[in-house]
Amino acid sequence: MIKDLLRIKKLDASLAIFIGLILTSVFGSMLYATTPLAVVGPAEQPPSVEFPLGTDSWGRDLLALLLAGTKNSFRIGVTAALIALTIGVVIGVTAGFKGGIIDSALMLVTDVVLVLPSILLMMLIAAYFKERNPLYVSIIIGVTGWPWVARAIRSQMMSLKSREFMYLSKMAGIRDVRIIVEDLLPNMASYIVMAFVLLMSGAMIAEAGLSMIGLGVTKGVSLGIILYWAQILESVRRGMWWWFGPPGAVLVSLAASLLLMSTALDEYFSPRLKGG
């Protein structure tokens, strides 16, 4: 199956872009000598040989900032996605499998969280914490992003539950939890992978959004933080394209490549969409 997946052009291209950007940021931030937050040169310089992406209003190297920022955005994105995925899958599986009152109760909770404006929720939680490290930010994003996953997994679970192959396991006296893990989850694996990809994309953008209103990480740097500084120092009006351009482009590329990946995966796993 992996071989078949790698033959899809869309998947190859998007995977290449995404992994390329991430690896560059990870190794780049390790190899590039300049410390991101250090003041190393004259302020507001356009790109040059010494500073390939120029400097910001404090004289910090924007390339160093971009590399470190991408790496951190990715870390927060992955962690937030994992948190949201876990919550969504556990709730979706339980609600779909058990049904009845448990299902109704869990769906009520899901709907409430779904309906609450996530930005507001994130703002409230973020404002509560004076010190915000990457993990806190991941948690904030993760606990607001899971409802659609829970609903989708629940539907999948409900349809799988009535498939006959469940019966053989049930009649072997296997406990429900084991049936879910051995029989049902593997049949949902493709969907869970797609959900994870989409969650990552959403999380990275959410992180940027939080940071741009000043509620991102309090220490350190991320793509959103760079954009935040770029914005409050009016880099757009003042034409400092080297400040807001690259981080914006990287953020869009990351999100777009993830979305493309999920479309490609979706087409592969649901042949009907291919135009049949």
Partner 1 sequence: MLLEVKNLTKVFTVGLFKRMEIVAVNDVSFDVEPAEFISLVGESGSGKTTTARMILKLLSPTSGEVIFEGREIFGLKGIDESRSYYKSVHSIFQDPYAAYNPLHKIDRVLNQVFNLTGHSGAERDRLVKEALKEVGLRHEDVLGKYPHELSGGQRQRIMVARCYILKPKLILADEPISMIDASTKASILKLFSKLRDEYKTSVIFITHDLGLAYYVSDEVMIMNKGTIVEKGSPDDIMNRPQHPYTKKLREDIPLFYRKWPGF
Of 80-88, 157-165, 253-261, 265-273, the window that binds partner 1 (rule: CB under 8 A) is 157-165
* Beta-bridge partner residues of 60: 39
Q: Does 163 bind partner 1 (CB under 8 A)?
A: yes
Q: Which of 9, 172, 237, 275 binds partner 1 (CB under 8 A)?
A: 172
Q: Which of 170, 181, 234, 273 binds partner 1 (CB under 8 A)?
A: 170
- Output the smallest distance, CB 151 to partner 1, in A: 17
Closest CB to partner 1 among 67 and 188?
A: 188
What's the rounded Cα separation, in Å, for the pair 147 and 116? 11
* Beta-bridge partner residues of 61: 55
Q: Does 155 bind partner 1 (CB under 8 A)?
A: no
| Closest by Cα among 209, 215, 224 to 65 | 224
Q: Residue 80: CB partners within 8 Å, gap ≥ 6?
A: 137, 138, 139, 141, 142, 145, 199, 203, 206, 207
What's the rounded Cα separation, in Å, for the pair 205 and 69? 13
Closest CB to partner 1 among 24 and 190?
A: 190
- Output the smallest distance, CB 171 to partner 1, in A: 5
Q: Does 131 bind partner 1 (CB under 8 A)?
A: no
- Output the smallest distance, CB 172 to partner 1, in A: 4
- For residue 211, give Cα distances in angstroms to 39, 69, 163: 21, 12, 46
Q: Does 7 bind partner 1 (CB under 8 A)?
A: no
Q: Which of 102, 105, 109, 168 binds partner 1 (CB under 8 A)?
A: 168
Of 166-174, 200-208, 213-221, 249-257, the window that binds partner 1 (rule: CB under 8 A) is 166-174
* Backbone φ, ψ for residue 174 (5° rounding): -85, 140
Query: What are the residue ranges of helices labelled H in 99-164?
Result: 100-115, 118-128, 134-144, 147-161
Positions that interact with partner 1 (CB under 8 A) = 163-165, 167-175, 182-183, 186-187
